[in-house]
């Protein structure tokens, strides 16, 4: 570990060229018949001024802004693929052969030296932490309560987790525990964005099923499914499974009756660094919290506090957009999932609460010669770099007739009202590999009310119990290849893309209903399009 820490130094930046340099001028003349939800900058400025968030891009000159506007405008030509559509992760897109490692490739435009940092970050991402005290060098500090021993054990092959299946355990899905404010003081903390919500007084922020020797895990997640049939317009019957959740064998007494349970499946890791570099103004421009255009889509941003600075900023990661950066996301996972302290979250005992005295009496893994936390800054630097540079895989079969037809259906039934196809990342990014890249995440990164069937009843910051962030779709077609399953949505209830679409409600109800009445040929084509992403 000492050699690893001595090795770490600030990396040189890649000189990746943006995809926009050869954009045809004719793109600027395209007109779109499908409108993406948007507010004017002046309207958004009033709502977001307290957060200090720019509502117009300041990194582009007028010429570049015109090019960005033109190339990110939704297409109306479905006779052939769009320019650059193959490279959905920009110049960093991986064009490696499709296999189980398709989500584990480094961005194609990072430098040779940065590839070394990527590999070191990968080693730390895969490292199994052990309980303290230990004879290992800087690998102890696990727990004392935890869900897994390594990041990779939840983000299987850097991809999607799975819900518990029989006796297979729940290592890649866990229960978030939270309650709403119950006093004026707590309401004031929420209003000032000092907290996202309030933990269970005994069990903390999530159920920890595992524990170090000498301590009991907190309990086990239990899932019950009820099957129900949905009949499509052409007579096709689809079975959906409705889950309900409970905690079995709670080790420290009952949960607070106000505590809500929210299952969270681990999402894929690809493209995080690119998402981080989307200009906030481009996300905010698609927000319509009051549905002023009366189209039924009311995307809202989740405004959160940045961990290191404490400043208000835009949340864009997590199922409810509750996290602003990949580094903070990694720190939260270290603390909550593994019980490892970092400079961002110096919690040596992880999610242990004051009510768990025996947990707080356990030894921690801090080694002062390496710093005051169990995962010091060089470790966080490498894990963050790794997380930011997992490449988005290239599209497949994008010129196949069913895929082109499916893309047209995707647009026509209104999916792009939330699943925004394209963005161009900021200039002046910390790493040039992510600067000024045309990317295709198919998400607006806003919160949407998805209806009562998908509601978890758990508020997180500005997100209500009915709202979820639009998840990116890039890479979704490789879920079976990488993870050996086809479980989708925040809790993996959907066993196929068809089921995932049919669970959509609330703001997505109209698009879902159009899918349900579409012909079998159009539904097939739409699924082929999604499988090509």
Q: How confident is the model at residue 55 (pLDDT cuts 50, 70, 90)?
A: confident
Please, how many CA atoms are within 13 Å of residue 310, restricted to the half-sphere of its CB?
2
Determine, yes or no, domain membership for 11: no
pLDDT at 25 over 70: no
Token representation of residue 451: 């209806």
Determine, yes or no, domain membership for 468: yes
Determine, yes or no, domain membership for 19: no
User: Rounded mean pLDDT of 80-106?
Assistant: 98
pLDDT tens digit sequence for 310-323: 899 999 999 999 99
**Residue numbers of the domain that contains 181:** 34-531
pLDDT tens digit sequence for 323-342: 999 999 999 999 999 999 99
pLDDT at 54 over 90: no
pLDDT tens digit sequence for 383-392: 999 999 999 9
Max intra-chain CA distance, the chain: 68
Residue 465 and residue 451 in contact, taking contact as beta carbons nearer than 8 Å:
no
pLDDT of residue 136: 81
What is the reported pTM? 0.90
Determine, yes or no, domain membership for 10: no
Tally the domains of the chain: 1
Determine, yes or no, domain membership for 4: no
Sort residue 465 into left (φ over 0), alpha (ψ -120 to 50) or beta.
Answer: alpha
Residue keyed to tokens 């919500």: 197
Determine, yes or no, domain membership for 259: yes
CA gap 432, 435 in Å, rounded: 5
> What one-character DSSP code corresponds to residue 380?
H
Q: How confident is the model at residue 53 (pLDDT cuts 50, 70, 90)?
A: confident
- Concatenating the DSSP letter of every residue in 436-505 gives T-EE-------EEE--TTT-----BTTB-TTEEEPPP-TTGGGHHHHHS---BSTTS-BSSHHHHHHT--
Determine, yes or no, domain membership for 21: no
pLDDT at 381 over 50: yes
Determine, yes or no, domain membership for 307: yes
Q: Which residues pair with 439 in a beta bridge?
A: 423
Averaged pLDDT score across all residues of the chain: 90
Q: How confident is the model at residue 308 (pLDDT cuts 50, 70, 90)?
A: confident
pLDDT of residue 383: 98
User: Rounded mean pLDDT of 39-59?
Assistant: 55
Contact residues for 361 (Cβ-Cβ < 8 A; gap 6+): none
pLDDT of residue 368: 87
For the ranges 94-98, 164-168, 402-406, 523-527, the lowest mean pLDDT is seen at 164-168
């Amino acid at each position: 570990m000492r050699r690893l820490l001595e090795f770490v130094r600030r990396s040189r930046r890649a000189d990746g060229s943006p995809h926009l340099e050869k954009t045809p001028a004719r793109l600027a003349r395209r007109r779109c018949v499908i409108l993406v939800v948007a507010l004017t900058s002046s309207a958004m400025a009033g709502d977001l001024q307290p957060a200090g968030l720019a509502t117009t891009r300041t990194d582009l000159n007028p010429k570049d802004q015109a090019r960005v506007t033109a190339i990110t405008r939704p297409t109306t030509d479905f006779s052939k693929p769009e320019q650059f559509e193959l490279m959905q992760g920009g110049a960093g897109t991986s064009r490696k052969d499709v296999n189980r490692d398709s989500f584990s490739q480094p961005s194609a435009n990072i430098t040779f030296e940065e590839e070394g940092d990527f590999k070191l970050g990968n080693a730390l991402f895969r490292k199994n932490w052990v309980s303290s005290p230990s004879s290992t060098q800087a690998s102890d500090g696990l727990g004392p309560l935890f869900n897994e021993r390594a990041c990779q054990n939840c983000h299987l092959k850097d991809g999607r987790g799975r819900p518990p299946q029989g006796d297979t355990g729940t290592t890649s899905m866990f229960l978030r525990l939270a309650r709403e404010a119950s006093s004026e003081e707590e309401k004031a903390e929420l209003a000032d964005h000092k907290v996202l919500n309030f933990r269970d007084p005994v069990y903390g922020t999530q159920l920890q099923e595992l524990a170090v020797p000498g301590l009991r895990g907190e309990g086990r997640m239990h899932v019950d499914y009820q099957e129900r049939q949905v009949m499509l317009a052409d007579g096709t019957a689809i079975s959906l499974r409705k889950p309900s959740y409970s905690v079995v064998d709670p080790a420290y007494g009952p949960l607070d009756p106000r505590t809500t349970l929210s299952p969270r499946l681990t999402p894929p890791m690809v493209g995080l660094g690119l998402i981080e570099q989307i200009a906030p103004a481009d996300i905010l421009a698609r927000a319509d919290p009051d549905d002023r255009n009366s189209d039924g889509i009311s995307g809202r941003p989740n405004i959160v506090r940045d961990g290191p600075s404490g400043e208000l900023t835009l949340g864009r990661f997590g199922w409810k957009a509750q996290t602003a950066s990949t580094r903070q996301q990694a720190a939260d996972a270290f603390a909550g999932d593994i019980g490892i302290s970092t400079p961002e979250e110096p919690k040596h005992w992880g999610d242990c609460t004051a009510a768990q005295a025996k947990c707080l009496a356990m030894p921690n893994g801090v080694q002062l010669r390496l710093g005051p936390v169990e995962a010091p800054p060089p470790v966080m630097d490498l894990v963050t770099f790794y997380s930011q540079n997992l490449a988005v895989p290239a599209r497949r079969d994008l010129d196949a007739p069913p895929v082109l037809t499916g893309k047209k259906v995707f647009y026509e039934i209104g999916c792009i009202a939330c699943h925004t196809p394209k963005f161009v990342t900021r200039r002046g990014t910390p790493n040039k590999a992510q600067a000024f890249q045309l990317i295709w995440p198919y998400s607006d990164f806003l919160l949407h009310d998805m209806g009562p069937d998908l509601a978890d009843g758990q508020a997180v910051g500005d997100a209500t119990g009915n709202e979820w962030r639009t998840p990116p779709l890039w890479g979704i077609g490789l879920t079976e290849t990488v993870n050996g399953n086809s479980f989708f949505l925040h809790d993996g209830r959907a066993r196929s893309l068809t089921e995932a679409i049919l669970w959509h409600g609330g703001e997505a109800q109209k698009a879902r209903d159009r899918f349900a009445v579409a012909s079998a040929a159009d539904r097939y084509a739409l699924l082929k399009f999604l499988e090509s992403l």
